[in-house]
Structure formats: C-alpha cells, structure tokens
Chains A and B, each alone.
Chain A
Amino acid sequence: MVSVGVARANEKLVELSKDNGNWVMNGRTYEAQNYSPLTQISTSNVKNLRVAWSFSDGVLNGHEGAPLVVNGMMYIQSPFPNRTFALNLDNPGRIVWENNPKQSSAARSVACCDVVNRGLAYWPGDDTTGPLLFKNLLDGHLVAMDAKTGKTVWKIENNDIRVGSTLTQAPYVVKDEVLAGSSGAELGVRGYITAYDVHTGAQKWRAYATGSDESMLIGKNFNITNPQYGTSNLGLETWQDNGWKIGGGTNWGWYAYDPQENLIYYGSGNPSPWNATMRPGDNKWTMTIFGRDADTGMAKFGYQKTPHDEWDYAGVDVMMLSEQRDKDGKLRKLLTHPDRNGIVYTLDRTNGDLVSANKIDDTVNWVRHVDMKTGIPIRDPEYATYMDHKARGVCPAAMGYHNQGFDSYDPQKQRFMLGANHLCMDWEPFMLPYRAGQFFVGATLSIYPGPKGNRQTGEGSGQIKSYDAITGKMSWSKMERFAVWGGTMSTAGNLVFYGTLDGFIKARDSRTGELLWKFKLPSGVVGNPITFEHKGIQYVAIYYGVGGWPGVGLVFDLTDPSAGLGAVGAFKEMAHYTQQGGGVMVFSLNGKGPYDDVNLGEYEN
C-alpha cells in the first residue's frame, strides 16, 4: 500500500538547498541563481585550482546540465541511454549504484539536437516514502529512483516517440510533485507540462501550450493585471486550420519556483513549423513566460515574447529570481529571463508586469525595441522571414543570442552573469506536409558569427556578460571563440565560472570580467559548473562532453553547412579544438581531496 505523506517535503528541500554542502536542484535553490555563498575559492587563490578527482560515465554525446550533490553523495546523469550514477564524496572511486534503463534506440532518430539530457531532480522523502531521484528518458518516460539504491520505484509514460515527442528536460520537484516538460517542436509536437505525485506517479495536472483555455489551464483571472497581453481563447483564435494541434510550444528548458506565491515559472518553446507562412497568427501561447500555480497548474499570467515566431527563437531559457529595487526605488520580486530572441526580460513575478526588456547585444536586429506599455516587440520587417524570400543577416540566428545554458545571478552585486551566443543567419522557408513522427521544420538556414565575430574563420560566436536588469546596462562584456552554451555559476568569492565548447573551464573576476584561471578539460562543455563544500574543502564540478545543437556536426560527422538545422556551418571550426567525451571533473584548491590519503580505497588483503 502506498500512502501519501503529510510532512512538508517541500520545506525540507528548501532547507537542504541552503546548505553549502549540497546542490540539490538545478540552479541550486528555487531562486535558480546558480549562486553559492562559499568563499574558500576566491579571486586571490583561484590560480591554485587543480583537479581533485574525475569520473567518466562511459557515454559520448552532449553532457548538459550538472550533477546533484546531496548529503555527501554526487548523482551523475548521462545523455542517452540516460545512465545514472551515485558516488560517495568520501571515496568517489567506487560507484555506489547505477541505474541503466533499457530504451528503444528509435528514440535517437526523433531527437532534433543531439541525445542530451539536462539532469536529475531530488525529493527528500517523508514519513511514508524514502528519498527519491527523478530522471527523464529520451524515449519519453519519467522515472522515480530510490536515492539509496538506485532501484526504479515507478516509471510512467509522458511522451510518445512514435509522434516525435521526446524528453531531454530535467524534472523539477515542487512540494510533493514532480514536473515533466516536453520536446519535439521540430516534429510538430504540441507542447505540454505535466505534474505527477512523487509517491505514486499519479498525474495531478497537465497544461498544453496551445488550444482551448481548458486544455491550457487558463481561467478567468489569467493576466488580470495585464490584460493587454491577451486573455481568453487565444490558443485557438491566433491559429488557422487546426494548426494549434501541431503547434509546438514544448518546454524543455528550466524552472524556478517562489514558495510564497506558490508559482512555478518557465517558458514555452517555438511554434511549428519553422515555416511561418504556414501558420498565420500570433500562435499563442507558444514563446510565453508562464507563472502557474504549483498545486493546480492554473496559469496566473502569460507574457508572449515572440508573437508569430519567424526565427525559431524557442522561449524556454533559464528563469532567475531576484529581489531588487526598480527605477522608482520600489522593492520588487522579479524574474529575469535571457531569451533566444536576443532580449533579456525582467518581469514582476507576482503578476507578470514587464519591468525591463533590453537587448543582450546591440546587434539584435529583428526587433527595434519592446514597447514597455503593451509588451509588443516592434518588428523590423527587413529581417522578417516568409515564403519565396531568403532573409539575410538576421540577428540572432535560430540558435539565439542565448540558448539552454543555465546562467547565474550574484545577489551581492545584483548582476546576472550571462553566457551568450553571437550568431546570425540567412533563412529561407519551404512548404512541407505534416506526418506524425517525421520532422516538420520547413526552413533552410545558414548560420555564422555575428558582426563582432570573425565570419571568415567562423570564430567569435560567443560572449560572456555581466548584466544589470534595472538599468539595462552591461557592467562588462567579453568575447569568446565559440558560443557560451552551458551557462555560468557565481560565488561570493567574486568569481564567475563557466565551461566552453573548445574544452575549458574558466574563472573570471565577476566585478571586472578579467580572466583569472582556466583548465583544459578532455572535451568541450555544454553544461554548467556547480560548487559545494565537503569536509571543509570547497569543490567545483563540471561535466565535459561536447554535443548539443552546436555539436551535431562533430557528433554525427556532418559536413554540409546547412545540416544540423544550420549548426554544422556555424561550428565547423570546433573539431580543431575538441572531440567527444563524457564525464565529470572536480576541482579544489591545490587539488586537495579524498585521495590525499593515498591508502584510501586501496585493496586490503
């Protein structure tokens, strides 16, 4: 008999997340700031950072996300076939358990952008059920694992690969429910988010991104504070010819949660197909920042960033929460979101009020600016895309000026550390039919570095920036050889850490952007660093293993520049700097770690 616990596991998770020894969820806490108060490693000694230990998970392809660290254990998640490993930080050389699911390899063929996975979620347990770890499988299952043994407790079907629907997102735990998103807008999948009971796997609610208000969990109070964003019936009214049924809007990015408001925050993805001429209308509610009640799933607000998308600016990027004074000196609860479309949005997270919307780089050209009163982006028709026309020099490219990277916020400095892309494109759509299970894109792309990069060599496609969401100013900005794809992590040691596609982990002074340290990893990075303290030592850990969308040329050995949805040409130089890999590297000052005692873990006769 499985009963439903009464203890507030949610509060336990909040408590665990604030412990510097843990990193219990993606983003570290519900504020999703990827920020640690640890100061042992600082600007003055970061040059002494060395490898303490490492682990290969035995899988190639892109290693997105980051490990979790809970109560002295590290949990590692691989790309397809989505193996999970538990290591004890006292002796990481011994694998405590492994969960290795069997999946149909057919799942690989409907993954748009490498067979990545963005990580795990942890639920601390209650009176009736022990601690659980959750993972999504590429083949569409959500799995609950016993955190102590790794054994599968329950496993439900969330997505069907036969209709092109997969799962790459990390699950997210709020209270006693676990959220699963969806992937597959490149195959015409209509997106949905689902909440399940952690104890039993029973479905609590499901909300679609398009269609009827009822199916989207939109009620009469939706956008009550900002009716200019649009209110009822728009999931049908802003589409033609039942296109909403294959309208995309999948959410495969990240979440944040505010326990006081009881709202979860996330973004819905791009509409399908990429050929915008085939779907007249604003295509709501794709490309939308949602605030939804955690218990019921009902949407409190929804702000559509990119009405009638013409560039695949999938709006799923990271949501970082903060409390800051606005320009009028009023203390506000905020949400900051660097979008694919090149705009960094800051909203009041209690009601959806638009607080700021600034270009992440001045070379963004599809939009002149965002009208702060109406929330409407004022489009520049010169960079529109439509049938029988080849648009040129559109910035950002479909890969966005920001993609799936999980960035950080330093609450002391009140600055967002943004890992950005600097990529523009030419785009020409074409007509195509919809067949369930087949790709439904309908555009040919050529992607290349933006105006500040080098279009001849294909380098200079990334930036890292320190952003003030209230003034809209960048405190500093640095160019990178390739897109900063994996996100950033900040610490109270005045450091910002991040990995690069060409295979480095780097540390910069978060006040000035000065590069202070780097280390050459075995392969490029598409995940974000984490940090934690164990037995008095501060560690920094990061996955290596290049892949994801920028890595598809390298991973699948493609040479046609327009292959990989345009990414092959954009990253043709990458193979000169890195090859595939897969694992985790853990750093500490002077490499101090468990094996300083050279006899630890030795065979004893």
Chain B
Amino acid sequence: MTIRMIFSATATATLALAFASPAFAAYDGTHCKKPGVCWEPQPGYPEQLVGSKYDPHFDPAELAKQQESEDAMVARNKARTAYFIKTGTWVEDVNQIPK
C-alpha cells in the first residue's frame, strides 16, 4: 500500500465519521427552503430516494389502488342516493337498483 493510498483512506474515514456524527449540522427543522418546506436529510443520508440505498421501489399499480377503490365507492354511492332521492327506498346492492 502506498503512502498516497493510506492518506486517501484516512481522509475518507474522517469524512464518513464527520457525517455520522449527529452534531454535524443535523436536521433540526430550522433551515427552510421556503415557508413550510424545512426538511433536510440526516447527515450522510440521501436527499433523493430513487436510486439510493433506501429507494422504496414503489409499484405504481399498487399506489393507484386506493384512488381506484374510492372512485368506485363514490360511483356506487351515487347510484344508491339517486334512487333513494327518487323513490324514498334505500337499496344497498347496486345490482338490485332498478334501471
């Protein structure tokens, strides 16, 4: 191992140590980019998730499921309430609502 390599390794280790220390400019919520936007990464942690060690690899199809479900519930409720307003009878099963 050359002197140069040893120096370089030490420097990297020191730098890593500095970032790992909570005292090193740790996120305290006070450095805001604009009102209401004050998050900072913990020292040594990525600013952007995607492509990082902590990438959650979200599946867009899974992320879409809640809105799809809510839209379908709203549509079924609309059919129920419309028939109720028209007739005064509540029919829960939308397939049983007369057209």
Contacts and interface: CB of A to CB of B under 8 A. Distances in A.
A431 B56 contact: yes
Given A238-B36, A379-B27, A431 B81 contact: no
Interface string A427-464: 00001011110000000000000000000000000000
B58 A243 contact: yes
Contacts of A152: 90
B54 interface: yes
B39 A281 contact: yes
A278 B54 contact: yes
Nearest to A383: B22
B98 interface: no
A307 B30 CA distance: 11
A234 B37 contact: yes
Nearest to B68: A163
A280 B39 contact: yes
B63 A163 contact: no
B88 to A, nearest CB: 6
Contact of B36 (A160, A231, A384): A231
B81 A378 contact: no
Nearest to A226: B35
A158 B73 contact: yes
A457 B48 CA distance: 44
Given A154-B81, A240-B48, A384-B27, A304 B66 contact: no
A234 B33 CA distance: 12
A201 B77 CA distance: 8
B95 to A, nearest CB: 14
Chain A interface bracket (under 10, 10 to 19, 20 to 34, 35 or more):
35 or more
B20 to A, nearest CB: 10
B63 A246 contact: yes
B49 A240 contact: yes
A598 interface: no
Interface string B47-81: 11110001011111011111101100110111011
B28 A2 contact: no
A100 to B, nearest CB: 16
B56 A241 contact: yes
Contacts of A156: 77, 80-81
A594 interface: no
Q: Is the interface of A mostly helix, strand, loop or mixed?
A: loop
B30 to A, nearest CB: 6
Contacts of B66: 160, 163, 165, 189-190, 245-246, 436
Nearest to B24: A381
B39 A1 contact: no
B36 A229 contact: yes
Given A242-B60, A243-B58, A376-B30, A227 B85 contact: no
B76 to A, nearest CB: 6
B63 to A, nearest CB: 4
Contacts of B47: 280
B86 interface: yes
Contacts of A238: 36-37, 39
Contacts of A380: 28
A200 B84 contact: yes
A382 B37 CA distance: 21
Contacts of A201: 77, 80-81, 84
B29 A241 contact: no
Interface string A133-170: 00000000000000000001111111010110100000
B26 interface: yes
Interface string A448-485: 00000000000000000000000000000000000000
B3 to A, nearest CB: 33
Interface in A255-291: 277-278, 280-282, 284
A377 B65 CA distance: 34
Nearest to A367: B29
Given A1-B86, A163-B69, A434 B80 contact: no
A560 interface: no
A237 interface: yes
A202 interface: yes
A378 B28 CA distance: 6
A160 B70 contact: yes
A561 interface: no
Nearest to A3: B85
A10 interface: no
A154 B84 contact: yes
A434 B84 contact: no
A-B residue pairs, 4 tightest by C-beta: A230-B36, A381-B26, A436-B65, A157-B73
20 contacts: A2-B84, A165-B69, A200-B81, A203-B77, A234-B37, A240-B50, A241-B50, A242-B58, A243-B58, A280-B41, A280-B49, A282-B39, A376-B38, A381-B22, A381-B26, A384-B26, A384-B27, A387-B45, A434-B58, A434-B59
